[in-house]
Amino acid sequence: LLTKRRVSPPTFKSKRKYKSFTRKCNAGKSVGWNLPGGNVVRIDGVDFRFHKSREIEGKLKTMTVKRDRLGDVYIYIVCEYDAERVAVGTGAGDAVGFDFGLKNFLVGSDGSKHVSPQFFKRDMNRIRRANRELSRKKKGSKNRERARLHLAREHKRVANRRRDHHFKLARELCEKYSLIALEDLNMNAMKSLWGRKVSDLGFADFVSILGWTAFKLGVETVSVPRFYPSSKTCSACGHILDKLDLRTREWTCPACGARHDRDLN
């Protein structure tokens, strides 16, 4: 059927659209990847040198190559090894429960408190200036690409600092306790209420990092059910309140008269 609609010739997909790809380990074959030795990785028959951040142990499974907004390329290797290699827990034998909060990042059942630095809030002015500079540049120009890289570098700096803080805090907790209980958070609901601050604290990323660190050090982690009324339950007598508003930070138990801090309780 002939029409008068004008069509353009076919176009090729831009390589910038693809940020990652995955290969299975196939030693000695032209398709796949393997490690011939040293800091060299062979992908589809071509050798590439890379910086090895740690020794690679176990049976090689898959490899994922990712490229970030700055153009830096990272290699993620998945290995399979026996669980017996996990170190014995270094905790002092104590068990602790932690409550996430907006004022205090973590409040422990032993009274300990950990405050998050909120790295995005600290560098907000730098990121705002970088956004303004990017919006002023002409699209398609080299100056705009230079401004885009500068903005991506600022965001990466914030993410790296937050991730470093999470790893150090997770290591500190795993060396102090042998069992850690955390609440199961509804992140979507929290973001709808508090938005940027929840993303800046990075609760979900910290839980993932803590789980991995605890696995390596032999520390047990427990997830408290999301709808368990831990804030409304008196830790002294077990009485459960019918209602407790989020703005109420302290309350008195009507059964035994004990005074509770919401997060600590």
Q: Which of 44, 99, 145, 200 is catalytic?
A: 99
For the beta carbon of residue 203, count every other beta carbon within 10 angstroms.
Answer: 20
99 has catalytic annotation: yes
Q: What are phi and psi of 149, to 5 degrees?
A: -65, -35
Residue 264 near residue 233 (C-beta atoms within 8 A): no
Q: Which of 72, 94, 183, 242 is catalytic?
A: 183
For the chain, give the number of residues. 265
3-class SS string, 135-203:
HHCCCCCHHHHHHHHHHHHHHHHHHHHHHHHHHHHHHHHHHHCCEEEEECCCHHHHHHHHCHHHHHHCH
Distance, in Å, from the CA atom of 161 to the CA atom of 238, rounded to the nearest integer, reads: 41
185 contact partners, CB below 8 Å, separation of at least 6: 100, 203, 204, 207, 226
263 has catalytic annotation: yes
List active site positions. Answer: 99, 183, 263
